[in-house]
Amino acid sequence: MNSALVSCGIELPKAFLGAKVVSNGGSHPNNTCSDTTKLFNSTRNYPRISCSDDRGSRLRLAAIAADKETKVGQLDQELRSESGHDAVNGSVNGAVNGATNGATNGAIKRRETIIEEPESISPYDSSVPLRPRSILNYMNEVKYFLTDDGGPPRWFSPIVPPPPADAPTLFFLPGMDGTGLGLIMHYESLGRLFNMQCLHIPVRDRTPFAGLLKIAEEAVLAEHKHRPKSPIYLLGDSLGGTLALALAARNPKLDLVLIVANPATSFDRSQLQPHFPLLQVTPSELYGVVPYLLSFIMGDPIKMAEAQVKQDASPVDRALQMRESLLSLLPTLPTLADVVPKDSLVWKLELLHSAALYANSRLHAVRAQVLVLASGNDQMLPSADEAERLRKILPNCRTRYFKESGHTLLLEGGLNLASVIKGAGIYRRGRNIDYVTDFVIPTQAEFDDAYNKYAKLIWQATSPVFFSTKDTGKVEQNLSNVPNDRPVLFVGNHMYMGLDLSLIIYQMFKERGIMIRGLAHPMLFETKMEEDLQEGTMPDLFREFGAVPVSGNSMFKLLKKGYSTLLYPGGAREALHRKGETHKIFWPKRSEFVRMAARFGVTIVPVSTVGEDDLLDIILDLDDLRRIPTFEERFVYPITNIRGDLNEDVGDQSLHLPFAAPKLTPGRLYIKFGKPIVTAGEELIPIPG
């Protein structure tokens, strides 16, 4: 059985491929498609499955980087003793145990906990691993889409492991090539989030912009009628971006989410406008050169070839892989002459012109949520300027900027579109986003990418050592004593700027297969302070990896859903502590997390981290900023204090730009997980009076 031809357990006969392709206009026996794609006309019958039934019983060990980047010897044990780890661990354990003891001064009643099925372990149990893709996949598949059958534009759905039943639908509107294969590098990752349908415009098709808009609108309205409470995603590439904006303008009451990559609304300001008329007079015998030129104008071949290069490889291996990838790419470029033959290219330039005029005249009517993906090295359109313009015009528009990418952003390496969507906080299954239930466990590739971008440097600079505690109280240098067969509430002290946060989440997932959800400051979920050309930031990473705005309600929902959760009771006051406050605990006197953990039978594990004083020097703290004229206005963020109800030190949760410098002497972080405190089966009830 060919796994590429299997969807929902049903094997598609090979006779289906190239013989029975159903389009909007009926059956076309001459149509052909590849063995990874199925074409059909329904906007309703999507293959769907739920997550695997045996989730929670399987561990998905990430193996993101080398097993050990630092060997720990006897010297480390001495340093650990000297650093005061035991004192801090005692403070954290004492705070947790004290809170637990205080809460248990009431009556204790045995009961059945109401916790739902645990979701700490990855629920994505696909038997087919995510395959790395590149522009070569596009070149190999596109020949199946070039048959001139005379049929109209039609929809097809990539064959990938189906998403959950409540996944929203994503309609992909293609760029100038019209094949609909522009998402080929993202099929598997987007297939975990959406029911995907891609619009295919045959190479000889001459449907005008109004006709294409009608086809897209009919599909969207049919989907809305079928699932009125689910959002509909429109992903438009270049020309498709104008289609998406025009459709949104015509349907302002629909719940639409638009993702537009280098939209062609800026076509009339293209850098190539003076050269377009030359295409009409180019001799046919010379036209074969045009696709080579377009390949360098529309995209960066280096970025395209980079998709096949392993990011964790050595520099020498990366260079060799890049060479092989480029050599395999160049022979496929003549295929572009078949994708955009001369008469089609001239027609599509006229189509882009009419599309830009139509969409720009109706931008004032767009009310949908819009995310603009802009390339900084686009040689065909002024995409960066256009992203800034759209952000100012559209009422609910944000941007993500890719400085080194070209026009064909979706076909270049280094972009994980699913990560961008989740990181921007626009993935939802209902009318409003729910950060608890709309979360999708990251894939191993996403963990790899996040580690290399954000955690690897911190890991190398801090050389963290992890300890865990057995039920007997014995401490061991590993995480084997942290329970992974049930949800856990990790409660710890914050290092300065949360240096230990990414290390804990990464190592816990790698070594124990536990996906920890963090409770984060609500400011990380605000978008008002984003720039006109916003590149990916740490808040994007937090959202992608399941952080939720800290509140009692969020914690209640996380624990009820069975997620392992990380809580820092000291919050921003502890993460941005003042000079001389290293390892000082800032926790509220009333520790409400214990009763909630007991309510759901969640095991509590104290976490203590030391070593910051060997790594950083705080240059200016909040007190200094408040004393220096104009500094408080410039570097302290004007936000609502989320703990302003507390008349104690922890109530001052002001956020400010950190001013710290690394020390020249080597240091190390020591992270200790204390003895698990089991609360399963108990409910705490206070004694009246």
Mean pLDDT of the chain: 75
> What single string gives the DSSP state of each residue in 193-255?
T-EEEEEE--TT----HHHHHHHHHHHHHHHHHH-TTS-EEEEEETHHHHHHHHHHHH-TTS-
State the first-to-last Cα distance of the chain, in angstroms, to the nearest integer.
Answer: 70
For the ranges 29-33, 259-263, 438-442, the lowest mean pLDDT is seen at 29-33
Residue-level pLDDT at 18? 30
CB atoms within 10 A of CB 331: 9
Report residue 69: phi and psi, to 5°.
Answer: -95, -15
For residue range 282-294, what is the model confidence (pLDDT) as tens digits?
A: 666 555 555 555 5
Compute the distance between CA of residue 491 and CA of residue 597 in angstroms, rounded to an integer. Answer: 11
- Contact, 621 vs 636, CB < 8 A? no
- Contact, 606 vs 504, CB < 8 A? no
- Contact, 593 vs 571, CB < 8 A? no
Q: Tokens 């015998």 appear where? A: 285
For residue range 577-623, what is the model confidence (pLDDT) as tens digits?
A: 778 777 777 777 766 788 888 888 899 999 998 888 788 878 887 77
Residues 6+ positions from 633 with CB-CB distance below 8 Å: none
- Contact, 450 vs 131, CB < 8 A? no
- Contact, 459 vs 503, CB < 8 A? yes
Per-residue pLDDT band for 455 (boundaries 50, 70, 90) equals confident
Q: Considering only CA atoms, which of 526, 515, 538 is closest in space to residue 440?
A: 515
> What single string gives the DSSP state of each residue in 374-412?
EETT-SSS-HHHHHHHHHHHSTTEEEEEETT--S-GGGS
DSSP state of 485: S
Integer CA distances (angstroms), 78 to 3, 84, 470, 613, in order: 55, 11, 21, 16
Compute the distance between CA of residue 236 and CA of residue 180 in angstroms, rounded to an integer. Answer: 10
Element containing residue 27 per DSSP (H, E) = strand 26-27
For the ranges 89-93, 97-101, 409-413, the lowest mean pLDDT is seen at 97-101
pTM greater than the 0.85 cutoff: no
Compute the distance between CA of residue 664 and CA of residue 617 in angstroms, rounded to an integer. Answer: 10
| 489 pLDDT above the threshold of 70 | yes
Integer CA distances (angstroms), 185 to 92, 244, 379, 633, in order: 46, 21, 22, 45
Compute the distance between CA of residue 653 and CA of residue 638 in angstroms, rounded to an integer. Answer: 11
Integer CA distances (angstroms), 150 to 2, 199, 580, 671, in order: 30, 16, 76, 66
Residues 6+ positions from 584 with CB-CB distance below 8 Å: 574, 577
> What single string gives the DSSP state of each residue in 160-195?
-----TTPPEEEEE--TT-SS-TTGGGHHHHHTT-E
> What single string gives the DSSP state of each residue in 273-327?
GGGHHHHHTS-GGGGGGHHHHHHHHHS-HHHHHGGGS-TTS-HHHHHHHHHHHHH
| 274 pLDDT above the threshold of 80 | no
Residue-level pLDDT at 151? 81
Residue-level pLDDT at 419? 94
Q: Considering only CA atoms, which of 166, 157, 186, 132 is closest in space to residue 48?
A: 166
> Looking at 600-669, which runs of residues are DSSP E strands?
603-610, 616-620, 659-662
Compute the distance between CA of residue 676 and CA of residue 119 in angstroms, rounded to an integer. Answer: 19
The two tokens of residue 34 are 């590849």
Q: Where are the domains of the chain?
A: 138-424, 444-678
Q: Considering only CA atoms, which of 533, 550, 571 is closest in space to residue 654?
A: 571
| 127 pLDDT above the threshold of 70 | no
The two tokens of residue 32 are 């052909």
| 475 pLDDT above the threshold of 50 | yes
Give whichever of 32-41, 498-507, 569-578 has the largest mean pLDDT: 498-507
Compute the distance between CA of residue 63 and CA of residue 511 in angstroms, rounded to an integer. Answer: 8
The two tokens of residue 149 are 């059958």
Residue-level pLDDT at 379? 82
- Contact, 132 vs 186, CB < 8 A? no
Report residue 365: phi and psi, to 5°.
Answer: -95, -5
The two tokens of residue 488 are 């856990």
Residue-level pLDDT at 607? 94
| 465-469 sheet: strands from edge to edge | 475-476, 465-469, 670-673, 603-610, 488-492, 564-567, 516-520, 548-549
Q: Which CATH superfamily is domain 138-424 in?
A: Alpha/Beta hydrolase fold, catalytic domain (3.40.50.1820)
Compute the distance between CA of residue 537 and CA of residue 600 in angstroms, rounded to an integer. Answer: 34
- Contact, 473 vs 517, CB < 8 A? no
Q: Considering only CA atoms, which of 86, 11, 91 is closest in space to residue 584?
A: 91
Q: Tokens 């914050």 appear where? A: 494
Q: Is 677 helix (H, G, I), strand (E, B) or coil?
A: strand
- Contact, 671 vs 466, CB < 8 A? yes
Residue-level pLDDT at 636? 76
| Selected residue with higher pLDDT from 237 and 527 | 237
